[in-house]
Structure 1
């Protein structure tokens, strides 16, 4: 088997099936990453969404014992919505981060990698392979960095020379020993725009993220959002990508190479009030195909309530009162009460007081007290 010719054939085929960038890496242990991950654990900086142990996340042979190479791919996604809907005083809108526009990237990348896998096995029938996209044990970014797809920026994203950091990543492990690509040199230099723009200080230093303070992570949690972070998410209902937007490598970058990733304007920027009362079926029909739906509707509805508070949307008061009184979920009832207090109308405060008389959940009662505290502040 001529692996050099096969390597070139794979590159040529990847371009035919719409892969924007491809690179090859060795399947050696990611020693540097292993030490960083252990340090992250010690500091309590992990999100809890990580899959597998540190060893599984840094030793490819634990996932595919005969692994020799890892093929990394990148697909570019749009950074702008053409003719995007505007938020108005009557109909405020939330926003999903750019990485959740269009069809769920996990599905699209798995399809592309599946085609690569079929292509390889047609030429090497005894090839062993394993596909991973985001939810696998390996770090997509560490693989992409080793494969020369891009360098790891201070915002912890992979930054490509061609597409900035607006790329989705996936990989295919194999027992075929391909010649690896050369990693790119770091391109951040002394720039610290992402660190300065992070509203919570989640970027502790260049390339190190405290996920527990990252708004992108916090928008995906299902419990009450800590008070400190509520004013900072603005109208984001899923994800947060300011650290990418301010990056000089992303200036004027907007690729529309894949129809699957084209944002549906009313899905990427949904109206907030209807979201509060959406049924499970409506949620699945409207949002089920995008990456931002993976945690279900509860976090998004909680964030929608926070966004309405951010806007001080008085037109939403009646709807939020119904949510506070009728929703069976304490996190939603409590956040609704807090939101009403933040919006701050007389009707909102009266509704909170009335609801407190029949509320039994201690956490919800605490949120109601927080809501009423806004009245005291505004009166001083």
Structure 2
């Protein structure tokens, strides 16, 4: 079977197994990407979650020595939460970004890629195939762009004409020389809405992201969150969708093609206070199947404390005091002390003054002092 015919059969089969878009690209070097990655590294803009070896990110033959082609796939995910629970004064809620709704997308995409591999192997038993999703060596976006899935938007997301940027990406490197598809023309034009709307200025310019300032990255860090970002976090527990929600290409785009991607409203917008004292086991049982759980409960709990401060939730004062008294983790104790300062009442001031005398951790003492200072100004 020739590569043209096989390509048509793969496209046809991909529709049967719930792949919303598929494209084929050559496995040649990603020279332009290399220059961009080197610039990102020099500027200190990388997140640190990426494959550290830039050569592997830009040269598919370092991953699969006989690589000739890369198959790129995209699956559309929902952008609207049906029956979203309302946040109330007694029960404030946080929010997980859309990419953490439903089952972990890594699992969903790997399932589709695995089926695709099996199909190709039946046709070409000797074929070399290597699939990856997000955590692989290659840049999913660079592959998708070359394969004509969409263009690389100013918000650093792949924007497809059909589904906007609400797509998950995955790819498969192979030694089969498929005829490549043509890239799509950039459609952002003069629009700069995502750059203007970015809460922290992480989008330095269209197409260039300083990951160190990106809320999506910051929500996944485990240490103290720098104070300049706390007020920007709002009630976000994991991720940030601002640069997607303001994008005109995403207007009215909401697809519910895949049952496993359907969000549980109580997990997508959970109550904040119950998160504060959740055990590891409870967290794993409740959130373990969503992508936003990959860093464990600590960042989520820290973000929940910041969200309570954002809401100035007076009902959370006893919960925060309990954390400062009993939680063994300095980041949680310190963030709770800062949040008390934001929410503020007489009881909080007295408690912080007393607890600061007993605190041993210097960073926690500093956060307590910030809280006391805020409360003394009331």
TM-score, scaled relative to structure 1: 0.99
- State the partner residue of 2:99: 99
Residue 50 of structure 1: how far off its partner (Å) = 0.7
Deviation at 1:351, TM superposition (A): 1.5
Q: What are the Cα deviations for residues 339-369 of structure 1, in whole angstroms up to 9, with x where unaligned?
A: 1111011111221112111110000000101
Alignment of 1:258-337 (within 5 A): 258-337=258-337
User: SS of 1:51's equivalent?
Assistant: coil
Equivalent residue pairs, number: 378
Q: Which 4+ residue blocks in structure 1 deviate beyond 4 angstroms?
A: none
The corresponding residue for 2:44 is 44
Deviations 1:255-288 (A, max 9, x none): 0000011010000000000000001111000000
> What do the CA deviations read for 1:193-223 (whole angstroms, capped 9, x no partner)?
0000001110011100000110110000000
Deviation at 1:159, TM superposition (A): 0.3
Mapped to 2, the partners of 1:85 and 1:348 lie a distance apart of: 30
Shift, 1:34, TM fit: 0.2
Residue 142 of structure 1 aligns with which residue?
A: 142
For residue 233 of structure 1, what is the aligned residue in structure 2? 233
Q: Which residue of 2 aligns with 1:120?
A: 120
Structure 2 Cα separation of the partners of residues 17 and 148 of structure 1: 20
**C-alpha distance in 2, partners of 1:206/1:333?**
38
Tell me the CA shift for residue 13 of structure 1.
0.3
CA distance in structure 2 between the aligned counterparts of 1:114 and 1:243, rounded to whole angstroms: 31
Structure 1 range deviating more: 351-360 or 295-304: 351-360
> How many Å separate the matches in 2 of 1:190 and 1:264?
37
Counterpart of 2:189? Answer: 189
Counterparts of 1:1-380 in structure 2, within 5 Å, are 1-378=1-378
CA-CA distance at 1:52 after TM superposition: 3.3
In 2: Cα distance, 1:52 partner to 1:222 partner: 20
Counterparts of 1:36 and 1:16, CA distance in 2: 37
Alignment partner of 1:240: what SS? coil
CA distance in 2, matches of 1:52, 1:307: 33
Partners of 1:214 and 1:376 in 2: how far apart?
32
Segments of structure 1 that go 5 or more residues without pairing to the other structure are: none
Residues in 1 aligned to 2:377 and 2:194: alpha-carbon distance in whole angstroms: 34
SS for the counterpart of 1:89 is coil
1:28 is displaced (CA, Å) by 0.4
SS of equivalent residue, structure 2 residue 162:
coil
How far off is 1:372 after superposition? 1.1
Tell me by how many angstroms 1:376 deviates: 3.3
CA-atom RMSD in angstroms: 0.6
TM-score with structure 2 setting the length: 0.99
SS of the residue corresponding to residue 170 of structure 2 reads strand
SS of 1:244 mapped into structure 2? helix
Q: Distance in 2 between matches of 1:54 and 1:199?
A: 29
Distance 2:60 2:105 in 1: 23
